């Protein structure tokens, strides 16, 4: 019997939207170095590859990271008095990619009515409070019994300890009683099945080539819409 369903965030609860990492960091750099276009250009040119490099390394190291790590890799730090304002500009740039799928709320309500515990496990460099603000904005945060962000952990998906942390957050201890729902075959499907969970793939994301890892493992189910999940797992 299934006791819990845990979801990926970006590309799953929130539909995938291809974004320009350089443009995002340019919004940060323009505030950090206001009035100095040359320094802003140089900062953005360092930050974007540092960010992408951290994500590319996940497939080999499974090491979690934060915005502070990206800044350090780019030769910057958060000591500037303008860092807070710059970070807010960066966050605002990404808001367009944070809106929860309209199918999520009714789907989550259906699962809660069945007595299932619900959680989130997301690989992210951003503070957990950002994600929770967005889930609260969209009226779905209250459905979750636990939310787990890799920026609060040493490891990110597909490391087993990331999945075990998400299970602990929702209060379920048997991975065989958990379902994980995500959009990435390597991070989500192989990671979840590696700890003994069932796994459902939502194959609608255009995952960057440098982040793809071939896997020889099949999900337990595939859905095109979150609305299809309750019927898929009804008999599990």
Domain boundary among 50, 65, 96: 96
Domain end residue (candidates: 69, 96, 123)? 96
In a shared domain, residues 120 and 132: yes
The answer to whether residues 129 and 220 belong to one domain is: yes
Is 218 in the same domain as 108? Answer: yes
Number of domains into which the chain is organized: 2
Q: Which residues contact 151 (CB under 8 A, 6 or more apart)?
A: 64, 65, 66, 124, 125, 126, 127, 128
Spacing of C-alpha 1 from chain mean position: 27
pLDDT score of 155: 97
pLDDT at 212: 79
Residues 161 and 197 in one domain: yes
Question: What's the pTM value of the predicted model, to 2 decimals?
Answer: 0.95
Instruction: Tell me the per-residue pLDDT of 173-186, one tens digit each, with 9 for 90 and over.
Output: 999 999 999 999 99
Q: What CA–CA distance (Å, rounded) separates 205 from 56?
A: 17
Q: Does residue 86 sit in the same domain as residue 102?
A: no
Task: Write out the DSSP string of 132-158.
Answer: HHHHHHTT-GGG-SEEEEGGGSSB-TT
Pick from 89, 94, 53: nearest CA to 71: 53
Statement to judge: residues 129 and 157 lie in one domain: yes
Residues 154 and 126 placed together within one structural domain of the fold: yes
Q: Helices 83-94 and 21-32, interaxial angle, to 10°?
A: 150
Of the residues 56, 79, 96, which one is the last residue of a structural domain? 96
Name the β-bridge partners of 178.
4
- The answer on 190 and 113 residing in a single domain is yes
Q: How far is CA 27 from the centre of its chain?
A: 21
124 and 217 both lie in a single domain: yes
Which CATH number does the domain housing residue 132 bear? 3.40.50.1000
pLDDT tens track, the chain, 236 positions: 999 999 999 999 999 999 999 999 999 999 999 999 999 999 999 999 999 999 999 988 999 999 999 999 999 988 888 999 999 999 999 999 999 999 999 999 999 999 999 999 999 999 999 999 999 999 999 999 999 999 999 999 999 999 999 999 999 999 999 999 999 999 999 999 999 999 999 998 788 777 778 888 999 999 999 999 999 999 99
Give the range of the structural domain holding residue 138, as residue numbers without chain letter: 4-17+97-232
Are 104 and 86 in a shared domain? Answer: no
Q: Please report the pLDDT score of residue 78 as a whole number.
A: 82
What local confidence, expressed as pLDDT, does residue 142 receive? 98
Peptide bond into 2 cis (omega under 30): no
pLDDT, tens only, 95-110: 999 999 999 999 999 9
57 and 111 fall within a common domain: no
- Is the domain of 83 the same as that of 157? no
């Amino acid at each position: 019997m299934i006791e819990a369903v845990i979801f990926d965030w970006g590309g799953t609860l929130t539909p995938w939207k291809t974004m320009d990492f350089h443009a995002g960091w340019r919004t940060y750099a323009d505030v950090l170095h206001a009035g100095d276009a040359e320094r802003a250009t140089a900062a953005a040119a360092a930050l974007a590859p540092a960010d992408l490099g951290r994500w590319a390394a996940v497939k080999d190291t499974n090491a979690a990271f934060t915005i502070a790590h990206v800044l350090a890799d780019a030769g910057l730090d958060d000591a500037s008095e303008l860092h807070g304002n710059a970070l807010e500009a960066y966050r605002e740039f990404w808001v367009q990619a944070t809106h929860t799928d309209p199918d999520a709320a009714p789907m989550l309500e259906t699962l809660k009515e069945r007595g299932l515990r619900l959680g989130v496990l997301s690989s992210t460099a951003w503070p957990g409070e950002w994600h929770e603000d967005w889930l609260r904005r969209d009226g779905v945060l209250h459905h979750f019994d636990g939310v787990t962000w890799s920026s609060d952990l040493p490891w990110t998906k597909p490391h087993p300890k990331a999945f075990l942390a998400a299970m602990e957050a929702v209060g379920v201890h048997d991975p065989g009683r958990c379902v994980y729902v995500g959009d990435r075959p390597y991070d989500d499907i192989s990671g979840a099945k590696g700890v003994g969970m069932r796994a459902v793939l939502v194959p609608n994301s255009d995952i960057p080539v440098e982040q793809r890892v071939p896997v020889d493992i099949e999900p337990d189910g595939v859905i095109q819409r979150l609305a299809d999940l309750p019927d898929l797992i009804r008999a599990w």
